[in-house]
Amino acid sequence: MEILEIDRQRVSHHETLLNLCFPHSKLNRRYLDWLYFSNPLGDVVGFDAMEGNVLAAHYACIPTRIGDSIGLLSLNTATHPGYRSKGLYQKLAQMTYERWSNEFNYVVGVANANSASIFVKRLGFAEIGRLNLRFGDLRRPTSGSRSWLQAELDWRVNSPRRQLEKKIVGDGLVELSMRPRNLPFKIKSIIPIQDTGSTGFQLSETSKHGFTVDWIRGSKSRIHLPEKLKPSPLVLIYQTLNNSDTDVNSWSFPDFDAF
């Protein structure tokens, strides 16, 4: 078996394996090319385990930003049914963190409960929160939140899987919204854009509130999203890569691409 860094030439293998493991995820080649190789912060990092022409296991992360700190967003983990129970995904993940620990400060991810427990028990992650549905003030802490430049926002809203609607709601603030398939209303999130000029107006009262799916440190959700409506990965996990801790104080649905 050969362990190789993820390469664009193997996107068709990634598509085949991910759809075998997650048949309802719509992780097609166009989406993976956008996710892995169009991110303004940089290309995907991670490893593939190849057995001849068969992709036995795949682990991928993409660069992300919290404040001024650049880290990795843990994304796709998949093992071919014929190669499970061999510790492949754990091996690929550990190799990824070791290989790129000098370039990135941390790994953050949103996983389902089963995957999150494995990351915590076997890979040294900490569970720091759980995203949930809530109605209320959409503003979040500016410190310890995913931060965006305009180029990153333009990339994010144009996901081939589902585009987000955007509108400017205040100085340096953009509202992103979408309607998940299983909900009868839109969910919204307000994010700060670092390199926008002054818009000349403040966030209005009507723009401050709405439904969202997020986590904010120290806050308690009053509305709990039913398990059957969740897109499964809603446990927020974190690990430092170089002993330089980055505060994570909030995470919202635009910060990853579960819907």
DSSP 97-147: HHHTTTT-SEEEEEE-HHHHHHHHHHH--EEEEE-EEEEEE----STTSB-
Categorize the per-residue pLDDT at 108 as very low, low, confident or very high, splitting at 50, 70 and 90: very high
Which of 41-45, 159-163, 255-259 shows the lowest mean pLDDT across its residues?
Answer: 255-259
Categorize the per-residue pLDDT at 223 as very low, low, confident or very high, splitting at 50, 70 and 90: low
145 is written with which tokens? 């939140």
What DSSP designation does 198 have? P
The CATH number fitting domain 2-130+231-255, selected from 3.40.50.2300, 3.40.50.720, 3.40.630.30, 3.30.70.1560: 3.40.630.30
- Which residue type is seen at 27? L
Against a cut of 0.75, is the pTM above it? yes
**What pLDDT does residue 199 have?**
52
Categorize the per-residue pLDDT at 157 as very low, low, confident or very high, splitting at 50, 70 and 90: very high
Between these two residues, 169 and 123, which has the higher pLDDT value? 123
Average confidence (pLDDT) over 172-201: 81
Categorize the per-residue pLDDT at 189 as very low, low, confident or very high, splitting at 50, 70 and 90: very high
- At 206 the three-state DSSP class reads helix
Between these two residues, 245 and 240, which has the higher pLDDT value? 240
Categorize the per-residue pLDDT at 228 as very low, low, confident or very high, splitting at 50, 70 and 90: low
**What pLDDT does residue 242 have?**
85
Each residue's pLDDT tens digit, 171-186:
888 999 999 877 788 9
Distance from chain centroid for Cα 213: 13
Average confidence (pLDDT) over 100-129: 93
- Buried b / exposed e along 119-135 (16+ C-beta atoms within 10 A): bbeebebeeebebbbbe
- Which residue type is seen at 216? I
Domain with CATH 3.40.630.30 in the chain: 2-130+231-255
Average confidence (pLDDT) over 185-201: 76
Q: What percent of the chain has pLDDT over 90?
A: 64
Question: Cα separation of 150 and 27, whole Å?
Answer: 25
Each residue's pLDDT tens digit, 9-59:
999 999 999 999 988 887 899 999 999 999 999 999 999 999 999 999 999
Distances (CA, A) of 100 to 13, 24, 63, 162, 240: 23, 31, 11, 30, 12
